[in-house]
Amino acid sequence: MRVFRGRWLAVFVLASLAGSSAQLSDAAKAIALLEHDYEVIPDITYFIANRTELRLDIYQPREAKGPTPVVMFIHGGGWVEGSKERDVLGVLPYLQMGFSVVNVEYRLGHVSLAPAAVEDCLCALHWIGRNAAKYNFDLNKVILTGGSAGGHLALTTGMIPDSAGLANECAAENDNAPGWRGPWKSPAPKVAAIINWFGITDVWDMLQGPNIRSYAVSWFGSQPNQEILAKRVSPLTYVRAGLPPILTIHGDADPLVPYSDAVRLHEALSKAGVPNQLLTIPGGKHGDFPADQTLKAAETVREFLSKYGITPEDK
C-alpha cells in the first residue's frame, strides 16, 4: 500500500522554482539548497509503548528569524507497514515552503493492534506542544498531513478531542527527573489545518461489506467489539463545528481507499460548518496521479494554507 511515490514532489519543487519548463538541474539545486538551509535532528524518542521506543525526525530552518510553522507528517502503509524513512520525500514540499517538519513513526499492526497507531500520533502532537520552545515551533501554525493510513491518522490526530480518552497514555518528561514518565498535564496544541491525502474516514466500512480491505482486517486482528472500536477511530465520528480547516485530495478511481470516504467526509464537514475543500483527481489511483493533476494538487495545498494564513510569513 504505497503512498507519496515522488512524482508530485518533483513537480511541486520544479514548478515552484521555474515553472513547468524547469530542468532536472533545477531540482538538484533545490535539494542542495534545502540541505544547506535545514538542520536534521533524527530519531528523537517521543513516546514509549509496549516496550517500543517511538521516534520522530525534525527538519528545521537553520536561520529562522522566529518561531516557524510546523508540519507533523505521518507516513502511510495501511497501519501495518511503512516507515517514516520510506516516505521521507513527502516532507520536501513543506520544507521548500519554509516550514519545520516533524516526521513521526507509530506502532504498526504487528507490534500493537488498533487503536495503537491513533494513540501514538496523538502523543506525538502533545510532544510537539511540550517541546515548542526548544525547537522553535509556532504553535499557532501546526499542520497535520499524511497519505492513506497517514491521512487517516492526520485526521484523527486533529479531530479527536482529549475527552475521548485516546491520549490518556501520553507521557511527559520531567526535566527535574530524567527518565521519569508521568501523565501529560496540558492539552495538545490547537491544529491550524489538516491536509488529508486519500485517507480512510470510515474504518468500519473497511472491515465488512463490499469495501472490506485486508490491511484494515489485519490492523484489528481478532479483537472483540470491532464495530465500536472502528467508529472510535473513524474521523467521521468526530465531525463537529470548530474543527480546523481540512483539505482532502483523493482520486476517484482509488482501488485501496474508496473515493466515497472523501465525499462523505466533505459533505459531513460542510454540513457542520467546518471550512474544508475536496480536490478530486479524475481517474486518479492511490496517489499515482498524472503529472498535470499532481501539479494542481501541489498548487492547491499551497493556496489552501495561504488562504488560512498558515504559510511562513517570509515566503
Give tens-digit pLDDT for 238-271.
999 999 999 999 999 999 999 999 999 999 999 9
CA angle 18, 23, 25 (to 5 degrees): 105
* Position 199 pLDDT exceeds 50: yes
Q: Is residue 175 part of a domain?
A: no
Give me the pLDDT at residue 6, please: 44
* Position 162 pLDDT exceeds 90: no
- Best mean pLDDT range from 7-16, 33-42, 113-122: 113-122
Q: Is residue 165 part of a domain?
A: no
Total structural domains within the chain: 1
Q: Is residue 167 part of a domain?
A: no
Give the residue with greater pLDDT, 287 vs 16. 287
Mean pLDDT of 109-128: 97
Banded pLDDT at 72 (limits 50, 70, 90): very high
* Position 19 pLDDT exceeds 60: no
| Domain carrying residue 195 | 7-160+187-307
Nearest to 71 by CA among 202, 189, 170: 189
Q: Is residue 191 part of a domain?
A: yes
* Position 83 pLDDT exceeds 80: yes
State the CATH number of the domain containing residue 52.
3.40.50.1820
Q: Is residue 171 part of a domain?
A: no
* Position 18 pLDDT exceeds 60: no
Beta-sheet strand order (sheet of 246-251): 38-49, 52-61, 100-104, 68-74, 137-147, 193-197, 246-251, 276-281
* Position 235 pLDDT exceeds 80: yes
Q: Is residue 178 part of a domain?
A: no
- Best mean pLDDT range from 26-30, 93-97, 220-224, 310-314: 220-224
Banded pLDDT at 28 (limits 50, 70, 90): low
Q: Is residue 182 part of a domain?
A: no
CA angle 184, 187, 193 (to 5 degrees): 130
77 in the Ramachandran plot: left (φ > 0), alpha (ψ -120 to 50) or beta?
A: left
Banded pLDDT at 50 (limits 50, 70, 90): confident
Give me the pLDDT at residue 141, please: 97
Nearest to 287 by CA among 314, 266, 256: 256
Banded pLDDT at 174 (limits 50, 70, 90): very low
Cis peptide before 42 (omega within 30 of 0): no
Give me the pLDDT at residue 203, please: 98
Mean pLDDT of 3-8: 44
* Position 22 pLDDT exceeds 80: no
- What is the average pLDDT score of the chain? 87
Q: Is residue 19 part of a domain?
A: yes
* Position 69 pLDDT exceeds 80: yes
Distances, alpha carbon 300 to alpha carbons 38, 164, 304, in Å: 24, 32, 6
* Position 110 pLDDT exceeds 50: yes
